[in-house]
Structure 1
């Protein structure tokens, strides 16, 4: 079920704030999917999903391999009969301010601040589509 990004229901938005471990799907250079669990935050006002990760992770390599236009990706979470997917274009952000903001948002959603990591970067997804039943 598709949702209008400009009119997401309170229930849908609340679902993206629950303590769940979504998955991120990126495409490898050979076109095969790479699916991994991640922590995700979603800012509906900016239509941005954020994932903090290590700069040498496979997901980062896949996003970078897609080129300057970014990679087509999806994040999805499921809880019993409820599910939600956000699709969009992912780009890697390495500037300290963006990464710190993503860490702050992560701590807010998951109730813990990750340990400092000099290799931490952020994958930023410009969300273009929302689906689900939440």
Structure 2
């Protein structure tokens, strides 16, 4: 990854993509209805070909409520990970999906990145982030 980084999230350089394939805990920042940030730890997968980041979660979570509260235009969100001085952030518009095929794809990608299959959860949904920006420092 370059020292300073800003790129089209659909065309990351190999070291940036490699960093997103390593096992790291991430954060998701969503806006609360009053505009203040809500930041929580999550697992994130990055799919540059589809320009998506995915977060699996429970449909009753605060993050899901805040994304849904943004309405049809989606919520402006960011996901970030870091290790030492390396960091990477993906930004975009988030939408909640509960379609079984989308949730299954998100679970598959989570298992691939994090090395474990998520336990069954009938209340699971996926937050899909349609990416508009990528940045980082390596």
Question: Same fold, TM exceeding 0.5?
Answer: yes
Question: Aligned residues, how many?
Answer: 134
- TM-score, normalising length from structure 1? 0.97
Indicate the residue corresponding to 1:7 in structure 2.
Answer: 11
Indicate the residue corresponding to 1:55 in structure 2.
Answer: 59
Matches of 2:6 and 2:21 in 1, distance apart?
A: 19
- Is 1:23 matched with 2:27? yes
CA RMSD after TM alignment: 0.8
Deviation of residue 6 (structure 1)?
Answer: 4.1
Asked if the contact 1:3–1:132 (Cα under 8 Å) also holds between the matched residues in 2, the reply is no
Where 1:5 maps in the other structure, the secondary structure is coil
- Is 1:116 matched with 2:117? no
Matches of 1:6 and 1:63 in 2, distance apart?
A: 23
1:81-92 maps to which residues of 2 (within 5 A)? 81-92=85-96
Matches of 1:91 and 1:27 in 2, distance apart?
A: 13
Unaligned stretches of 5+ residues in structure 1: none
Where 1:64 maps in the other structure, the secondary structure is helix
- Is 1:46 matched with 2:50? yes
Q: Which runs of 4+ in 1 moved over 2 A?
A: 4-7
Indicate the residue corresponding to 1:77 in structure 2.
Answer: 81
Unaligned stretches of 5+ residues in structure 2: none
- TM-score, normalising length from structure 2? 0.95
